[in-house]
Structure 1
């Protein structure tokens, strides 16, 4: 059974720079957790501290074992780097076998030719070859075992690197952007294969990425980091539907998130209908201060406001074709720019300079205190 990972108050500094600031995180046994965040937020440093490649203060436990003071080789961890770090002079089979050759074979057993003199070395080498064949079959790279890394595609190299990690049967997999060097089509296909493989072997996995779409597609849960701190942890659906603060909302809504001042919204639509208060994300609009955020797909545009459906007057700036859909850029009366997702076939209906009215899904929008970046308090209606 796979073991879980517990990190408590992990801090790592490089001179005056704090790379990790009291990071605490729990990963369940067999869970696939993505560490997501912008470049420089501490994602890779977190993995390197867990692996023992960087030092820091705090507690790191794999299962019930405290590994903080253990050498990297004693932690039972497999690390797959973005560059794959394969030995270029070795075949794929030799690359995969390398960890076991170093741990299970003596110097005599590794010596070219001399290993044949030792029955024990012959037996161990046969066992290692069987393990290589097992892993290669799992990763579907059997036909490439005789090739060197330079003779493999990016996706094949990535699977060889995974095989080298898998053959150790580690307690924990650490994957540092292993798909970043692949082209888009291969990346999408490989991430599906990687997630399927992780489910089959049930390995506890931490996967570092800066691609929110990749994290959403693969993860059981996501830990989103900014500036060395974990800002929010949850399932992909939890983070997407209820971001903890404006930074999280912006990052998970790339490339566009609409941010409109709550006072401006009240000025145009009021704070109540004839029968009940207007709610934004479940919070009364009359109580909100700061910023109301909503995604382009939760907005629409009409040429005129519909009775009973309040909207924000706007003027079209331009539209950008995005395949089946298009992004319509508009400017509200106070100068705020918004983006609305429309069918690309509707682009001719919205030329530059045309006036319209923006509507957005009040239940999907969220309100944030712009000065602190945290969700605005939701107070009961008086």
Structure 2
């Protein structure tokens, strides 16, 4: 098979150039060829492991993408040397029209199966691998890789079309988990992507009650990063969010205080959810006031003790009250934060 120094075939070059006529001619020619091995012209890969479909996606040519998939559906299952599939590539390049071609193709027997590769960061190195439906004998798992990456970006509302398309294609993507047991909702919560959170919840609400490997629910993640508007949205839709506890028995208010994000209190202080958490104790017996005192968060301490519903005499498992913890911090040389 004729190739250049990048191991590209004429089909790669035609797709890269966006030449639909040439792509069609080459595909027609390939259909009449006799192949001894398994690799055909459409499935041939370059030195990066990419097929002509990767190139067609990269240049955003819908006609060529459609032509290649129709001629050889198995192309959707070929990933490059980095484990990137054509669908993953289209998703991360925000090519909505191209993504729609793949998702509509699912109706005709092509589904995406996402796999995880070794990565050094939480969400930037995940790759999507696709396989034809007829070659799958086990249930589809980890389909949501591309969606997780997309939700984990701080994108404006104009980019929600990709998320909507993927969820319309397969609603169960909203509850798929990765190797950290995180859902797309966890990632959207981490960056405060409110538009995406609303979109995810429109399709599936179960993810709200799914914890990751660290025992953190999406609302804990939002609290950890101080995503105030997102927390407000979640407790309005799910007023029982105070009952979601991490592995240390902490609700999202306690985690927010420990993470130095007590600023979330301002937007939720009038909610019933917030009021129910005022005297809640974690597995060590610490209330929000204990934790704020321990961290030297003066403004939070002052606000909490100003509320009649807060009991400042509650002792934790060590028999310490919030006042005891505050005195201990001062004795150890720490000062209360005034801001």
Structure-2-length-normalised TM-score: 0.31
Greater strand proportion: 1
Structure-1-length-normalised TM-score: 0.28
Tell me which of the two structures has the higher relative contact order, counting C-alpha pairs closer than 8 angstroms and 6 or more residues apart.
1
Greater helix proportion: 2
